[in-house]
Amino acid sequence: MTNEDDFLKNYDPRAFAPVAVTADVVALTIRQDQLCVLLVKRARPPFNGLWALPGSFLRPHQTENGEQWESLEQAAIRALADKTGLSAASVPEILTGIHLEQLCSYGEPGRDPRMTVVSVAYMAFGPDFSEPSAGTGTSEACWVAVSALNLTAERQQAATEFPLAFDHAQIIYDGLERARAKLEYTGLATAFVKETFTLADLRRVYEIVWDTKIHPSNFARKLLSARHLLVATGENTSRGSVAGGRRSALYRRGASLVLMPPILRKELRHG
């Protein structure tokens, strides 16, 4: 393959017009009975002062073998770490118990006024990220209830306290749809709770993300009938709720991530 070798030696990557790639993260968690997304307040143009998803340009870093590029997923993790004031050292730590997955890519011309930017959006689900604090290029970072974003069915925003930069309203909208859909047929809800949890904890996740009430006993029957989704620890909670009540059994994530048969949202049933 000397042909291939010659070709590569003479290849000039800068012959192409520049495109930039970013990894943006839609991080979701549940706080105070509300579904919240992690946002940062931009401290520089473009969209200075508006709110945005934590994101980062895909970039090379130095290794002993010279310049080495990071993967999209690494860039997403770095965005989550940088912009929330977590040290790079704690990256493996914040990933413990945090579920990261790719959402979608966005590349409409003009979505970034600087140049053509393709953003690969990721989703992060977690029970409790550490308290955010502003990172480079941002003046603030906080968890914002998604209801406060006033997202419309057209994936835009109505008047809000948190105006979003770029096309991030659209990305967050898509991310929420993904999260709601995945609760139906996967064990994603377990990503929102701590390592051990009760069925009531899980039910609360569904009720908050879907904004519905769910019948407790049927819910328990359904989740426990899915094989290898939940594993009983044999332990119980140390006490009932403040208002009284029996102590409930504790569970842990099982080997399976699929919820079969699925729980279908009422509004979607019957097409």
Residues of span 187-216 touching DNA by CB under 7 A: 198-200, 215-216
Contact partner, 9, from DNA, a second copy, none, Cβ < 5-8 Å per class: none
Is residue 66 involved in binding a second copy (CB under 8 A)?
no
Q: Which helix (H) or strand (E) holds 170?
A: helix 168-185
Nearest approach in angstroms of CB 173 to a second copy is 15
Nearest approach in angstroms of CB 132 to a second copy is 25
Contact partner, 213, from DNA, a second copy, none, Cβ < 5-8 Å per class: none
Nearest approach in angstroms of CB 230 to DNA is 11
Residue 211 region, left (φ>0) first, then alpha (ψ -120 to 50), else beta? left
Nearest approach in angstroms of CB 178 to a second copy is 13
Is residue 233 involved in binding DNA (CB under 7 A)?
no
Nearest approach in angstroms of CB 121 to a second copy is 9
Helix (H, G, I), strand (E, B) or coil at 144: strand
Which string of DSSP letters, residue by residue, matches 194-256?
-SEE-HHHHHHHHHHHHTS---HHHHHHHHHHSTTTEEEEEEE-SS-BTTB----EEEEE-S-
The angle formed by the CA atoms of residues 170, 175 and 177, to the nearest 5 degrees, is 95
- The region of 70-78, 81-89, 129-137, 204-212 touching a second copy under the rule CB under 8 A is 70-78
Q: Which helix (H) or strand (E) holds 11?
A: none
Nearest approach in angstroms of CB 228 to DNA is 15
**Residue 37 vs residues 111, 122, 126, 176, 210: alpha-carbon distances, Å:** 21, 13, 11, 9, 15
Token pair listed for 162? 């948190």
The contact mask relative to DNA for 241-260 (x = CB under 7 A, - = no) is xxxxxxxxx-----------
The contact mask relative to a second copy for 82-111 (x = CB under 8 A, - = no) is --------------------x-xxxxxx--
Four-residue CA torsion sign, 229, 235, 240, 246: positive
Can you give the binding site for a second copy, defined by CB under 8 A? 3-4, 7-8, 11, 13-14, 16-21, 44-48, 57-60, 68-72, 102, 104-109, 113-116, 118, 120, 226-229, 256, 258-262, 264, 268-271
